Amino acid sequence: MASKSAEPNFKIVPEKLEDITASWCQHILHEGSTIDKDTTVTEVEVKALTDEASGYEDGGGFSGSSLVKLIPTYGGTTSGNEPASMVCKISGNNKRKMSFIWRLMGYAMYGAWEDGLNRHETAFYQKVAPLLADTPFKSPKVFFAGLDDKGDSSLARYVIMNKPSRVRSVLVMEDLSEWKTKVTGTMLTKDEVIMCLKNIAVMHARFWGDKKSDIAEFLKLPSSKSYDTENRPAKYNSKISAWRRKRFLSSPTSVKKQIDHILDGDWKAHYSMRIPKTCKLPDWFTLAPLEDGSYVAVDDPMVKEMLAVFAERLPSYNQEHLIEFSQRDVETLIHGDFHGGNHKFGVDQNEGQAIVFDFQISGGSLASMEVVQLLCSIEIANHSEVDSIIKEYHDSLVQNGVPDYDWPSYQLEFEKALVESVIMTIGLCNTMKPKTFMKMMTTLSGEEKAENMRKIFEETGWMNKVFLLLAGLYVHDKDNFLIPKKNL
């Protein structure tokens, strides 16, 4: 059970690990109604949380949160149902390990972003998670969710002095160390992707359409808009974004110009655009490898052919499908950071199940966008395989209560989301060079984790995934590729 607060003199969020005492644990477990009022905590062991597969502390994530394992010893009246161990996530205590200029740029774009993230995840467990309790949706059970909110951090405090966030949060949740972890960026299996999609479909279905009024208050939080505003900026009164999008989609020539900028520039051969030699190739891929065994994905003849047709047909496709898609009202609640590293996978008696966590940027958007996001975490042979995966998601969506949503309609919805993802990737590659992008990504994650971030892009070829997915769709049905459906 999540709790909004504790008594006034109680330090809700530990400032240091030494603040996690037996008394503190007893208090939060009583507050969350996890243990009986006559049960006590006589001592607690605090241990580093280390992922056994990778060796990364705190599981290898990229947030500034601290994660530790708590092992309490109980006294008083016990039932045997008290949690033997728990995971404690503390956010907001750490300074940002990035240069002044990157702190300033981040503040200009997002404000004091940790303030919003910390408020937001706490609010998810207080306002949203209880509404999912009677569904098959699987996320970690939270025993206590607390927030120490001293107001918004100012520019001077957050950027110039680089002080910790004025909004600190703590989550105490079930220990899932017996479940399997996939380090962020690791490729998932087809079965794992299907597990994740079937699970998130339960949440999507619960808040689909008019049902989202159940969480209207949550969706009004500033962080709730971050995912949608980042991925559909033209919808949110961004005149510059709307103008750029309109100009890009105005003619085949303008689309081709931006594609050529990628094919002729630094991005084409950058490691984030290559297919590593260890990855499985699509069955239609014919390009020979480079000397190091990797492949320049956008140099494959079929990818080039697809991009030429894409440029020619995209403006008409935009008029028929994407204008509505980009301007559509929020349809449901989405996770927002939907990748394999934010999941745990069951073993033994939990085999075949996935649990999703980290709801810091969850919010209202279009569900198909994060389905595409997750499919960038798997090696796909062809579009028939994609269809078989997303059919599992669609079936789960319908089974969990989304009415009047037939399979052909969802296939088109997925296609639109995939095309939008390609447009966003083309836009990114035309906005900044690889060096600038990687510096931004690694700096935001903190210098200590920058090398791991670089490895993710190098070992997976993360940036090429949407191009390969779209090329697979093209190979599957060249004649009808991006032909507006009214013309079929």
Q: DSSP alpha helices (H): ranges in 232-322?
A: 239-248, 252-263, 301-317
Spatial separation of the C-alpha atoms in residues 202 and 179, rounded to whole Å? 21
C-beta neighbour count of 227 within 10 angstroms: 23
- Please determine, for residue 450, whether its predicted confidence score (pLDDT) is greater than 90: no
What is the per-residue pLDDT for 101? 78
Pair of tokens at residue 272? 């984030």
If we measure between CA atoms, which residue out of 100, 208, 216, 199 comes closest to residue 159?
Answer: 100
If we measure between CA atoms, which residue out of 329, 408, 416 comes closest to residue 368?
Answer: 416
Spatial separation of the C-alpha atoms in residues 193 and 254, rounded to whole Å? 36
Cβ burial 453-480 (10 Å sphere, 16+ → b, else e): bbebbbebbbbbbbbbbbbbbbbeeeee
What is the per-residue pLDDT for 171? 95
C-beta neighbour count of 300 within 10 angstroms: 23
Please name the residues in contact with 458: beta carbons below 8 A apart, sequence gap of 6 or more. 271, 272, 276
Lowest mean pLDDT, pick from 134-138, 328-332, 344-348, 453-457 = 453-457
What is the per-residue pLDDT for 482? 96
Spatial separation of the C-alpha atoms in residues 220 and 204, rounded to whole Å? 18
- Please determine, for residue 39, whether its predicted confidence score (pLDDT) is greater than 60: yes
Residue 428 to residues 81, 262, 382, 433, 487, Cα–Cα distance (Å) = 51, 10, 26, 9, 31
Lowest mean pLDDT, pick from 35-39, 117-121, 305-309 = 117-121
* Domain residue spans of the chain: 17-177, 228-487
pTM of structure: 0.91
Our CA angle for 369, 372, 374, nearest 5°, is 110
pLDDT, tens digit, for every residue of 60-96? 444 568 899 999 999 999 999 999 999 999 998 877 7
pLDDT, tens digit, for every residue of 238-253? 788 888 899 999 999 9
Look up residue 70 and give its amino acid: L
Q: Confidence band (pLDDT; 50, 70, 90) for 347? A: very high
